[in-house]
């Protein structure tokens, strides 16, 4: 079995595959020895091809985005020895995120029974090492699920908000609201990381509001965390700069037009994938070396950080 790359900002040493699975009545399986239970939502799964027992990460997409827009990000994470499950929570959605929270819970509850049948026989999911992440409104959904707005049968050990957003402005949260505006009020029994974009709260032009407005963005989510929490804000990059370079279709093209963006997506995508790997290694595997190296400025980062905060 290959070892993980020592540099989390580079592609790891595990070869990976990216597979899509639909919630059809009869779902094909890559593992003939395990019966297949169809997933409750379409899934995009990035996984190592080498034999092993791998931690898991559920990654929830942003508002009106496709899970395929995160293909490069989740494959980078998988190349360091993780199975990453990116569901498509909906095709269209209104303001209320309650359905997304329920769908994310249903996917989590499905993992024990259904995931092994979708994986190659030599790739084993370690359900005792489970992380939850989400971008934008997916970040809000991840926090809501972790705060037990919908119960799950499996326990999360790590929570990651990638530029999470809880509405249009303070007082204009989308239902169900997650932020309470009470400092350190989140009652979470897991480690938390919040990643923010420096340009997320900047308007692209006068016609569009900022994509991660002040009052409902990463700063507010971190302010409500208690202990075992960290906060990284990437300077000069925007709310959608962790997506794939080539995002197809109308929504993909719009992702380049609606938010204030950095010069290119690769640096922020690379940092986001790398810091997720470092955080997961720390709180799922007990190896804090990469996370501490990034915190202390010893690691060579592809981006400039404007904020680094830790609550121990």
Q: What one-character DSSP code corresponds to residue 210?
A: -
What's the gap between Cα 198 and its chain centre? 18
- From the list 239, 241, 255, 290, the catalytic residue is 239
Which residue from 216, 201, 174, 74 is spatially nearest to 134, judged by alpha carbons? 74
Contact 208, 258 (CB under 8 A): yes
- From the list 163, 220, 241, 290, the catalytic residue is 163
Q: 61 an active-site residue?
A: no
The SS3 of residue 301 is coil
Residue ranges in the chain assigned as alpha helix (H): 71-78, 98-114, 137-146, 218-223, 249-254, 266-285, 289-295
260 contact partners, CB below 8 Å, separation of at least 6:
199, 200, 202, 203, 204, 210, 211, 238, 239
Residue 154 β-bridge partners: none
One-character DSSP codes across 93-139: --S--HHHHHHHHHHHHHHHHHGGGGS-TTEEEEEEEEEEEEETHHH
- From the list 68, 136, 197, 301, the catalytic residue is 136
Report the C-alpha gap between 139 and 158 in whole angstroms. 13
Q: 163 an active-site residue?
A: yes
Contact 194, 135 (CB under 8 A): no
Which residue from 223, 225, 212, 81 is spatially nearest to 159, judged by alpha carbons? 225
Q: 184 an active-site residue?
A: no
What's the gap between Cα 271 and its chain centre? 13
Catalytic residues: 136, 163, 239
């Amino acid at each position: 079995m290959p070892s993980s790359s020592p540099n989390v900002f580079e592609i790891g040493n595990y070869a990976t595959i990216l597979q899509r699975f639909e919630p059809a009545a009869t779902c094909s399986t890559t593992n003939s020895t395990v019966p297949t239970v169809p997933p409750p939502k379409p899934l995009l799964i990035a996984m190592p091809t080498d034999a092993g027992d791998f931690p898991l990460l559920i990654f929830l997409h942003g508002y009106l985005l496709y899970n395929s827009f995160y293909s490069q990000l989740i494959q980078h994470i998988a190349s360091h020895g993780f199975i990453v499950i990116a569901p498509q929570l909906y095709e269209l959605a209104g303001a209320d995120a309650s359905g997304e929270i329920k769908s994310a819970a249903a996917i989590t509850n499905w993992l024990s029974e259904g995931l092994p049948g979708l994986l190659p026989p030599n790739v084993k999911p370690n359900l005792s090492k489970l992380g939850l992440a989400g971008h934008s409104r997916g970040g809000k959904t991840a926090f809501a699920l972790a705060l037990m707005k919908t119960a799950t049968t499996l326990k999360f050990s790590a929570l990651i908000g990638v530029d999470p957003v809880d509405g249009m402005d303070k007082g204009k949260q989308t239902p169900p609201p997650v932020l309470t505006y009470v400092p350190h009020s989140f009652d979470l029994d897991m480690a938390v990381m919040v990643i923010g974009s420096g340009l997320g709260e900047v308007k692209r032009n006068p016609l569009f509001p900022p994509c991660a407005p002040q009052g409902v963005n990463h700063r507010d989510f971190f302010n409500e965390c208690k202990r075992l929490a960290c906060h990284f804000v990437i300077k000069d990059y925007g709310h959608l700069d962790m997506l794939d370079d080539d995002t197809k279709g109308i929504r993909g093209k719009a992702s380049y037009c609606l938010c204030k963006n950095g010069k290119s997506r690769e640096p922020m995508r690379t940092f986001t994938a790398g810091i997720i790997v470092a955080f997961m290694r720390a709180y799922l595997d007990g190896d804090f070396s990469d996370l501490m190296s990034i915190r202390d400025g010893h690691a060579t980062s592809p981006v400039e950080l404007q904020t680094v905060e830790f609550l121990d």
